[in-house]
Amino acid sequence: FLEKLSPENQMKACCIGLNKSIDEIFLSLEEIERYKTELLADANPLL
């Protein structure tokens, strides 16, 4: 399934751990993306 992810998310999935279930990896990726969005919004108050 990794080839279907963006290169950035492939790297994140490897850091999360490929021994986890796909559901656990997707949940972690969603949390990372939410956190990233919040950080970017805080850095740029015009967003």
Helix-then-strand count for the chain, H and E: 2, 0
State if pTM tops 0.75.
no
pLDDT at 30: 92
Measured CA to CA, the distance from residue 10 to residue 16 in angstroms comes to 10
Q: How many CB atoms lie within 10 A of CB 25?
A: 21
Tens digits of residue pLDDT in 13-44: 888 887 888 899 889 889 989 998 998 888 77
The predicted structure's pLDDT at residue 46? 64
Rounded to whole angstroms, the Cα distance separating 30 from 36 reads 10
